[in-house]
A and B are shown apart, each in its own frame.
Chain A
C-alpha cells in the first residue's frame, strides 16, 4: 500500500491502518471495500489504536477484509470456523476487542452451528456478516441466503430452498446487539460498528453487500455495482418505519437499522470471571 513518498502524492487517511507493501484484493465494485472503510472509520473515531483489536476471519472473499491488510493482530482460519477461534481468543484476552468478518456462507452454512451457539453464549464479539447472497470466492454457487428461484452455478433450474434471514437468526439464537445495513449505508455501518464494539455481548452486524461479479452474473447486473447500490437505496426501509407497515408492503424490502440492543444481558467472559471470583471468595470464606 505505502509507496516511498512521492512528495505530494495523495495519501488515503485510513492508509495508516494498512500493513506496508500489501495490496488490497477485491473484484472491481465489490462491497468489501466499503465495509473495510466503514469499520476503519469506526476504529479511527474510537481513538485509532488498532492494537486494541483482534481481527478474525474465515475463508471466502469477506475473510480478506482484514487479512492480511489491516496492520493489527489478524487470525485467518478455516472456512466457517472463525467464531470458535474468536471465542478462544476472547477468553484468553477479555480486554481485547475481537472483531470477526464472515461471509453469509461462512456464517450461515458451514459455520451455522458455531454462529447460533456464539449468539446463545452472548460472548463479547463483534461479528460483521458480509451478506452478498452468494458464494463469491468459489464462483457463484447458491448460499443459504440466496433468494428462492435464483439460478446460480449450483441451482441451474432455480433455487428451491428458502433463504435464511441471518439477523433474525441472530436475534432468535440470543445475540444481544443486532443491526442490518447495506453497503449504501456506509456511515450507518460505522455508527453501528462503534456501538457494537462497545456493546458488552455478542454484537452482530449484517451488511447486505454487492457482489457485482458472481451475484451480478445471476441477477443480470453483471459488473454493475452502481445499479446494485441504487437497488439497496430504493429497497431499504428503516426499522422504525417497517414496524408500522403490513407484511405485504415489506415483501422484497430490506429492513435496515438497529434491530436489537440488550446490553443488560450477562456476557459470557464476564460470567466466567464472576463465577470464578465467587468460587475463590467462597473458598476464602470457608477458611476463615
Chain B
C-alpha cells in the first residue's frame, strides 16, 4: 500500500494500546494535540467525545462547557481560540447546520479550531444512530461566500485519534477551521487504538507575535500571518466583516473584498500539496479506481480484494483529506484508468468534484450502497466494477 500517512508507522513503537470507541479515541487525540477548550451541545452520535473529554480534563488543564445550543458552542470555540487556547467542538448534522454562520466567521477571522462532525443521516433530524456521509458538501459550502477550509475523514478509531491530532496541527498552522468528517459507524466502532507517547507525534502551535506592530499583517497573509491572541497587549482587531491585513473593517471597498476572498482561499490552495493526505492501493495497473473516504474506504478495500480475486484490475484511491479538493492529484492518479467509481454512503456528494477533476475520456460512476446507511457488500462493489467496464 502506497500511503502518504498522517503519522509514520515506525514511530508507533512506544505508548499504549487500548480497545476503544472511535469517539473516545477522538477525545484522546484532542488531548494529545493540546486542546484546552471544548464546547458542545449534546447530540447522537457525537456526544461521547465531549463526555470523555470532560472526564479527562476534570483535574488538569483544559475546559469543557455544555452550551445552550450549537451556535453558542462554535461561538465559544472562536472566543476561546482568540483567548489563546486550542479549541474544538463536536456535533452531528443538525448541529453543523446551526454552526454554519460562525464557521464562516472562523474562516473569515482566520481562527484555528477543530469541528468534529460525526455524521448521521438527514435531511433534518434524520436517523441519529445510522451512519451516512451526509454532510460532505455542507462542510465545504454550507456557510456563505467563497471560502475554503480543511476537512479530513477518518475510517477507523485509530484514525479518529491520529486525524484529530493532525486536524489541530493543520488548524494552528493555517489558522483555519478544520473539520473531522467522521460518521456514526467510525465514531461508534470499537477497535484497537495505539496511543503514541508525548513527543512522538508532532504538535504544532500557532505563531503569536511578540508585540503590537501596526505594520505587521495580522490577517490575510498567504504565508499565514501570526495570530494576535487576546490578553497580551497585541491590540487584536478581529472582525468577520471585510477587513485589511491589520484587521480594520472596510465594507465599501471592492479591492478589499476581492483581496480578502482571494487570500483566504489562496493560503490553503498554495499549500494544497502539503495539506493533502491520501492513500492509494494497487492503483498502478488498475482499470477501475474506487474513490472513497472515511468508513466507505473499508468497504472499497474489501470490494477491491474480491474483484482482484476474480481477475479484475481494481485499485483504490482513499481521500484522507477531502477538502481542499486536490483536483490535479486526483486527475493524475486516475489518468491511466478506464473508470472511476465514487463510493460513498450518500447519493453522490463527492461525485461532483471527482467527476469534474478526472480526465474527460474516463467514465465516472456513483457507488452508493443499496440501502443508505449500510455499507455495500464486496459483491456489490464487484458488480459496480463490472458495470463500469461494460
Chain A positions near chain B (C-beta within 8 angstroms): 19-20, 22, 51, 54, 56, 67-68, 71-78, 81, 83-93, 95-96, 113-114, 117, 272, 275-276, 279-280, 282-283
Contact = CB atoms under 8 A, between A and B. Distances in A.
17 contacts: A51-B233, A73-B234, A74-B238, A74-B239, A81-B75, A83-B75, A85-B78, A85-B82, A88-B76, A89-B83, A89-B230, A91-B37, A93-B83, A113-B68, A114-B75, A117-B67, A280-B59
Determine the main DSSP class of B at the interface with A: mixed
B155 interface: no
Contacts of A72: 235
Contacts, number: 142
B78 A93 contact: no
Contacts of A91: 37, 63, 65, 76, 79-80, 83
A19 B235 CA distance: 9
Contacts of B241: 76
A220 B309 CA distance: 84
B69 interface: yes
B interface bracket (residues with beta carbon within 8 Å of A) = 35 or more
Given A68-B249, A117-B67, 20 more contacts: A19-B248, A20-B214, A73-B234, A74-B236, A77-B75, A81-B75, A81-B102, A84-B67, A84-B79, A87-B76, A88-B39, A89-B230, A91-B37, A91-B65, A91-B83, A92-B79, A93-B231, A113-B72, A114-B71, A276-B60
A78 B78 CA distance: 11
Please provide the 10 A-B residue pairs with the shortest distance between their CB atoms, ordered closest to farther. Answer: A92-B83, A84-B75, A88-B79, A88-B76, A88-B80, A89-B79, A85-B79, A84-B72, A76-B239, A279-B59
Given A68-B239, A92-B80, A54 B249 contact: no
A76 B235 contact: no
B248 A22 contact: yes
Given A75-B236, A81-B71, A117-B68, A68 B79 contact: no
B76 A93 contact: no
Contacts of A74: 236-239, 247
Contacts of A76: 238-241, 249
A89 B68 CA distance: 16
A152 B73 CA distance: 34
A159 to B, nearest CB: 27
Given A84-B76, A89-B230, A276 B87 contact: no
B116 interface: no
Contacts of B82: 75, 85, 88-89, 92
A89 to B, nearest CB: 4
A40 B388 CA distance: 70
Nearest to B244: A68
B234 A87 contact: no
B81 A88 contact: yes
A54 B79 CA distance: 11
A229 to B, nearest CB: 29
B307 interface: no
B341 interface: no
B36 interface: yes
Contacts of B59: 276, 279-280, 282-283
Contacts of A75: 79, 82, 230, 236, 238
B84 interface: yes
Contacts of B235: 19, 51, 71-73
A60 B303 CA distance: 55
A13 B225 CA distance: 34
Nearest to A75: B238
Contacts of B77: 88
A22 B75 CA distance: 27
Contacts of B73: 84
Contacts of B248: 19, 22, 68
B66 to A, nearest CB: 10
A17 B264 CA distance: 30
B75 A93 contact: no
Interface in B247-281: 247-249
B33 interface: no
B40 interface: no
A280 to B, nearest CB: 5
B236 A87 contact: no
Given A54-B231, A85-B76, A85-B78, A78 B63 contact: no
B230 A93 contact: yes
B105 interface: yes
A67 B85 contact: no
Contact of B84 (A22, A83, A85, A93): A93
A74 B228 CA distance: 11
B249 A77 contact: no
Interface string B155-195: 00000000000000000000000000000000000000000
Interface in B12-57: 36-37, 39
B239 A85 contact: no
B227 to A, nearest CB: 12
**Interface hub of B73, B80, B83 (most chain A Cβ within 10 A):** B83
A88 B75 contact: yes
Contacts of A282: 59
B58 interface: yes
A92 B102 contact: no
B305 interface: no
A51 B212 CA distance: 11
Contacts of A56: 79
Query: Of A19, A68, A85, which is in contact with the most chain B CB atoms at under 10 Å from its CB?
Result: A85
